[in-house]
Amino acid sequence: SPDGKKIAFASNQDGVGSLYVMNADGSNLTELVDTKAFSVYDQFRPELRFDTDCCSPDWSPDGTKIVFMVWHSIGCCYGSAYIHVLNADGSSLASAALPGWSTFDWAPNSQRIAFGSNCQEYFGICVMNADGTNLVNISHKQGGDTYPVWSPDGEKIAFASSRNGDSEVFVMNADG
């Protein structure tokens, strides 16, 4: 956590990915999310039996929220990751309800999250509010825009892209 007092981490110690928080000294281990709750299972269509895994947790700069991904996969060849946000105490789970495919980054004010995803018909840099609302694709570029990082003042977002044929770093205003 930003104050150094807690650690958020993923573990699949029970064979299912879960999100945990504990004190920095290892005490007070608390399971926040068990991804079994996110699993999709259809007994009549075995191809829809999803394995789930978690997490890549990341604390908001103010320490009040954690963003993470839950990965769903079918066998070896299909998968997707969905972005979720919850309060640091495990309450108020919100979902972006769409696949995210790259790392995510919090705005310095903890109010918005940027990530690479297929939102609004194009894969690009997407931004949403910390509660999962107001999802917007700000790069509007089909393919190749990933790994966004906010500037310290929250005015710009740097990201990787292959839009010119080579993988390069680009910078845009936070509104796209």
pLDDT in tens, 3-56: 999 999 988 766 667 889 999 999 999 988 877 666 554 444 444 444 556 678
Place of tokens 């205003």: 173
CA 157, CA 136: separation in Å to the nearest integer? 14
- Amino acid letter for position 46: P
- Using DSSP, state whether 5 is helix, strand or coil: coil
- The neighbour count for residue 50, using CB atoms within 10 Å, is 19
In the chain, the largest separation of any two C-alpha atoms, in whole Å, equals 52
pTM, two decimals, is 0.81
